[in-house]
Structure 1
Amino acid sequence: MPFECHGQRCQVPPWMPRLLFFAGLYHLLFALGAVAWPHFCFDWAGIPRPNPPVLWRAAGLVSAVFGVGFLIAARDPIRHWPLVLLGFSKATLVIGLLAASIVASELPAKSLWLAFFDDFIWWFPLGAILWATVQSHLGRPPTRENPLTVSQACETYRLSSGETLAEASAKQTMAVVFLRHFGCTFTRQILTHLTELKTEADRHDARLVLVHMLQKGGETHYLGERSGVARIADPVCELYRAFGLGKGGFLELFGPRVWLRGAVSVFKGCGVGHLAGDGLQMPGAFLVKDSQVISSQPARSASDMPDLPRLFDDFGGLVANVR
């Protein structure tokens, strides 16, 4: 996370409250200009004046409301995210309506000047503040200043069968699959094909282990009859970090590739559920032997599925040697 939250207040980058303050000040000045000089912007842009002028004055009053909202949000951008969302939504609608009107030849292209200072310049930074809000509400901050090493994590975390990952990996190769949250359609897809994953692991004399982000035992509700597979509970994502799996960025979580594969997954009946875990956490798959990673497959996007055949092939003949 780019900032820390304590209680109801988050320590955000200085640019966020400053931007919201200037956005609020701008919208108030715009409102004053629209009410006092309703024709100025139109004459400056060279487009027809609104008729009657009261329509533009009304738009100015609306701008004043948004200005006050931005000034309030500047005090705590993350806590007052609904006000930021309203401003972002307004900017998006105005840009969309102007673009549609220009395409339909209802307004000249120079009309975009009216939206440049009022909407365009605020759209991206307001979106960045909203993304930071998503991170603060969904992401789980680390509990340790220094993350555990893989060997330390293997000594610390226990399988549902009782032994530590270090003890289990000393006996045989472990195929460790780190899941996203259980409401994710891609996690549901993995669970649908869990039998195939277990068969592939067995074929290489390895043991399949699922790592999830719920409290110990909470995963059985989602696994059902497949709960016989070994699991590790990691509600603070400490084991994820030890294996190098961090939080996803916007494109990694919501990029075109993710949307396309998500639509296919939903179409296949995997569906989408409520958030059950850290919504920003990235998945991955690893082969572990003697508390060491011998083959890795960290996900590049939230939609990446564990490919155990390739995971074993990447390691090659050395897997046979360490068994």
Structure 2
Amino acid sequence: MNDPASHAPRWMSTVLRAAGIYNLVWGAWVVLWPEWSLRVCGYPEPLNYPQFWQCIGMIVGVYGIGYWIAASDPVRHWPIVFVGFLGKVLGPIGFLWGYSQGTLPLSAGRINITNDVIWWAPFAAILWHALRTSADRPARDPAPLDLSSAIGTVRSQSGETLSELSAAKPLLLVFLRHVGCTFCLEALSDLAKQRPEIEARGTRIALVHLSDEGVAGELFRQYGLDDLPRFSDPDQRLYQAFGLKQGRFLQLFGWKVLSRGTQAAIFEGHGFGGLQGNGLRMPGVFLLRDGTVVASYRHQTTADRPDYCELASGGRQSTDVRHNGSGL
């Protein structure tokens, strides 16, 4: 199977090579002609200690070599991009501090535009892609599962498959976020409250989580849900089989997510936990009957709060309902 790290969009390598060339040329200019470059970059006379300026040029040039290396595989070499990105953020901050203190003229900030600011967006996009790719890479078994295999072969902590669990009665399969997420804790609280009504309607509940069994079992015990069938899926094979993808930036960090997260964590008392598992994976809910998905709910943002009782009754509240028995 091909390494996902080799699948970065071509433009990322192009950007990093351009950054490498720029840094090497700029660094050579500063090292070879320090006084000329100081004047062009907006520093006033007298030009004291040009040797320090030459040292900066040398450092910038070395970064250029790093960017050229990173261009061969932007995902694998993301630490080089990250260090460069930090420098491009901290450089303008340092200039603004110097300007506010009266030690640097405003004209000295012009170099921050070409050295730093214009690279923020592409470097940030490369780092975001690297994060998503790394989080999506299975930890142990890279072999993907199709939906029928997932339903028929993956077993819960008690040894039952989804096909077996949904044969006797409908099964509400809830895919959680990582167990440190406040929305995961909110979902467990909602399930605990709605469980009596869901089961009274003749539907069972099963949970899918990204943690090791011991960690998740202890957490579910706190909500009185430790007797439910559950599937430990740190390799995210079930999530992928059911079509639950990694969230886009706004789905994970948009204003709605941040405001709802603050409300759920602080005002509703669900709190925050540490990152455990892939924090980018989106949750979802599926209703299964006789091993077939008959209704589904895919979160549009991580802040979505489904009504599990309605979903258990046939998915009337679902955003992605399929009642024709054809699965996903």
TM beyond 0.5 = yes
User: Distance between the aligned counterparts of 1:293 and 1:56, measured in 2?
Assistant: 65
2:136 alignment partner in structure 1: 139
Distance in 1, matches of 2:256 and 2:309, equals 22
Give per-residue Cα distances to partners, 1:251-287, cap 9 Å, x unaligned.
Answer: 2223333233333333244343343333321101122
Aligned counterpart, 1:25: 21
Distance in 2 of aligned mates of 1:57 and 1:212: 54
**Separation (CA, whole Å) in 2 of partners of 1:116 and 1:175:** 54
1:320 match: none
Identity percentage over the alignment? 35
User: Is residue 211–residue 231 contact of structure 1 (8 Å, CA) maintained in 2?
Assistant: yes
How many residues end up aligned between the 2 structures?
A: 310
Letter in 2 for 1:222: L
> Structure 2 stretches of 5 or more lacking a match?
317-328
Structure 2 CA distance for aligned equivalents of residues 308 and 93 of structure 1: 47
Question: Residue 35 of structure 1 corresponds to which residue in structure 2?
Answer: 31
Counterpart-to-counterpart distance in 2, 1:82 and 1:243: 32
- Which whole-Å CA distance do the structure 1 matches of 2:136 and 2:198 have between them? 31
* Residues 147-191 of structure 1 deviation map (CA, whole Å, 9 limit, x = unaligned): 523x44322233444433223223222121101122222212223
Letter in 2 for 1:244: G
- Secondary structure, in 3 states, of the residue corresponding to 1:294? strand
Distance between the aligned counterparts of 2:53 and 2:28, measured in 1?
11
Note if contact 2:206-2:228 (Cα within 8 Å) is conserved in structure 1. Answer: yes
Aligned in 2, Cα 1:242/1:114: closer, same or farther, shift over 3 Å? same
Whether the 8 Å CA contact 2:194–2:309 is kept in 1: the answer is no
Selected match of 2:176 from 175, 179, 198: 179
How far residue 298 of structure 1 moved from its aligned partner, in angstroms, is 0.6
**In 1, Cα distance between the equivalents of 2:306 and 2:244?**
14
Question: Residues 104 and 297 of structure 1: is their aligned pair in 2 closer, same or farther, counting only changes over 3 Å?
Answer: farther
Give the Cα–Cα distance (whole angstroms) in 2 for the partners of residues 248 and 255 of structure 1: 11
Asked whether the 8 Å contact 1:285–1:296 carries over to 2, the reply is yes
Q: Is 2:132–2:246's contact at 8 Å kept on the other side of the alignment?
A: no
Letter aligned with residue 127 of structure 1? A
Instruction: Give the letter for the 1:24 counterpart.
Output: G
State how far apart, in whole Å, the 1-side matches of 2:96 and 2:123 are: 20
* Kept after mapping to 2: 8 A contact 1:27/1:66: yes
Stretch moving more, 218-227 or 293-302:
218-227
Q: Secondary structure at the match of 2:287?
A: strand
Q: Counterpart of 1:245?
A: 244
Per the alignment, residue 216 of structure 2 pairs with: 219
Contact 1:140 1:278 in 2 (8 A): no
- Which residue of structure 1 aligns with residue 321 of structure 2? none
CA separation of 1:231 and 1:25: change in aligned 2, threshold 3 A:
same
The alpha-carbon deviation at position 87 of structure 1 amounts to 0.8
CA spacing shift, 1:47–1:283, aligned 2, 3 Å:
same
Alignment partner, residue 146 of structure 2: 148
Specify the alignment match of 1:129 in structure 2. Answer: 126
For residues 184-195 of structure 1, the aligned pairs below 5 Å read: 184-195=181-192
Q: What root-mean-square deviation, in Å, do the aligned CA atoms of Structure 1 and Structure 2 show?
A: 3.5
Gaps in structure 1 of 5+ consecutive residues = 317-323
Specify the code of the residue in structure 2 equivalent to 1:20: L
TM-score by length of 1: 0.79
**1:284 corresponds to:** 284
Letter of the 1:27 counterpart: N
1:282–1:302: 8 Å Cα contact kept in structure 2?
yes
TM-score by length of structure 2 reads: 0.78
CA distance in 1, matches of 2:310, 2:127: 38
- Would you say the 8 A contact 2:81–2:127 is kept in 1? yes
